[in-house]
């Protein structure tokens, strides 16, 4: 028996992760490093990015603090990295606003970060030949793209756009042997869950009860799905969306 046999290993892979200073991106960076990958992590907040960097297993990782909501920031990031095997387009922002309260600058803020940034980053990485043949690109979408929650319309629209882009990219980049997929988390316990302060503990618990597994997810649980999509074990999967929500989207 070959005891080194492990199609899920990330050993020898270089991985670029956006939104690595917090939540899902942070956990994914740490878990990927524990699976043997070399990481390039990015986010805006230098202090929190450093905390992630200090938590990475192994050596030879890189960190670049940059705001990716504009083309200059994305270009700085792309110029600062070497070619990678995997790209996690994960950075994102959310808002909870009924339709009548959505302002133009809020639409721009959400679309710039959640849609424009991952499109530009993927575009520039491809143009500059910085995603290796056999590479894997993963996008963080959301079950909000399917499950309607009051006040979630604008955020859901950004994730719908992102998922649509992912599918087109999967077809276009297949000729370069680059795969594209998306993860669609339900509620995951990270700082982005802004709703916690604005709703009562009772409502919070009621929300949890709508999850068949009776809890929200952890960032590590999303990381483990992303690891699968980065690994050679998923090499025949492209253009797919993976719901990870403890069963929440099964019922209304
Ligand atoms: N948590 C959930 O329940 C949930 C569910 C479905 C989908 N998601 C998605 O999962 C992804 C990660 O969210 P999270 O829950 O881990 O939230 P989080 O803890 O708030 O992390 C968001 C990350 O995105 C980065 N970011 C935001 N705007 C940026 C910008 N303009 N330039 C560069 N980086 C930027 C943040 O960096 P700084 O803090 O350094 O600015 C941070 O690292 C998002 O796309 C989110 O929409 C989350």
Determine whether 155 is an active site residue: yes
Task: State the distance from the centre of ligand 1 to the C-alpha of 22, rounded, in angstroms.
Answer: 7
Average pLDDT, the chain: 95
Q: What is the pLDDT of residues 50-62, one digit of tens each?
A: 999 999 999 999 9
Mapping DSSP to helix (H, G, I), strand (E, B) and coil, where does residue 161 land? helix
Residue by residue, pLDDT tens for the chain (252 residues) are 888 899 999 999 999 999 999 999 999 999 999 999 999 999 999 999 999 999 999 999 999 999 999 999 999 999 999 999 999 999 999 999 999 999 999 999 999 999 999 999 999 999 999 999 999 999 999 999 999 888 999 999 999 999 999 999 999 999 999 999 999 999 999 988 755 556 678 888 899 999 999 999 999 999 999 999 999 999 999 999 999 999 999 987
Does the global pTM surpass 0.75? yes
Element (H, E) at 46: helix 46-55
The listed CATH number (3.90.1150.10, 2.60.40.10, 3.40.50.410, 3.40.50.720) that belongs to domain 14-191+218-244: 3.40.50.720
Contact 165, 145 (CB under 8 A): no
The three-class DSSP label of residue 181 is: strand
The alpha carbon of 140 and the centre of ligand 1 are apart by a number of angstroms equal to: 9
Work out which ligand 1 atom sits closest to the CA atom of 216: 3
Q: Is residue 65 within 8 Å of 45, Cβ to Cβ?
A: yes
CA distance 5 to 77: 35
Best probe residue, ligand 1, of 120, 192, 207 (max atoms within 8 Å of C-beta): 192
Pocket test for ligand 1, best of 24, 89, 110, 245 (most atoms within 8 A of CB): 24
Residues framing ligand 1 (Cβ under 6 A): 18-19, 21-25, 43-45, 48, 67-69, 90-94, 113, 140, 142, 185, 187-188, 190-193
**Whole-number Cα distances in Å, 105 to 111, 113, 142, 144:** 10, 12, 22, 21
Residue 132 φ then ψ, to 5°: -65, 155
Distance of CA 2 from the midpoint of ligand 1 (Å) = 40
CA distance 77 to 163: 23
Note whether 155 and 95 are within 8 A (CB).
yes
How far, in Å, from the CA of 187 to the mean position of ligand 1? Answer: 13
pLDDT in tens, 84-134: 999 999 999 999 999 999 999 999 999 999 999 999 999 999 999 999 999
Protein residue closest via CA to atom 36 of ligand 1: 19
Domain residue ranges of the chain, discontinuous segments joined by + = 14-191+218-244
> Closest by alpha carbon to 57, among 79, 74, 32?
32
User: Taking the CA atoms of the chain, what radius of gyration do you get in angstroms?
Assistant: 18
Q: What is the Å distance from ligand 1's center to 23 Cα?
A: 7
């Amino acid at each position: 028996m070959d005891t080194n046999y492990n199609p899920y290993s990330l050993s020898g892979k270089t991985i670029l992760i956006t939104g690595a200073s917090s939540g899902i991106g942070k956990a994914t960076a740490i878990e990927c490093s524990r699976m043997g990958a070399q990481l390039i992590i990015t986010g805006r907040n230098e202090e929190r990015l450093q905390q992630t960097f200090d938590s990475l297993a192994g050596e030879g990782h890189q960190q670049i603090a940059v705001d990716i909501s504009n083309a200059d920031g994305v270009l700085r990031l792309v110029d600062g990295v070497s070619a990678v095997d995997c790209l996690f387009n994960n950075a994102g922002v959310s808002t909870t606003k009924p339709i009548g309260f959505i302002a133009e600058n809020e639409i721009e803020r959400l679309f710039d970060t959640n849609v424009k940034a991952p499109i530009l980053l993927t575009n520039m990485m491809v143009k500059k030949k910085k995603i290796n043949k056999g590479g894997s690109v993963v996008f963080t979408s959301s079950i909000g793209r399917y499950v309607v929650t009051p006040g979630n319309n604008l955020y859901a629209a950004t994730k719908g756009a992102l998922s649509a882009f992912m599918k087109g990219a999967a077809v276009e980049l297949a000729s370069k042997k680059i795969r594209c997929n998306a993860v669609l988390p339900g509620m995951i316990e990270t700082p982005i869950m802004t709703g916690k302060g604005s709703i009562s503990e009772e409502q919070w618990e009621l929300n949890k009860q709508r999850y068949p597994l009776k809890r929200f997810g952890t960032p590590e649980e999303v990381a483990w799905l992303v690891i699968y999509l980065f690994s050679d074990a998923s090499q025949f999967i492209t253009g797919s969306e993976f719901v990870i929500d403890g069963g929440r989207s099964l019922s209304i």
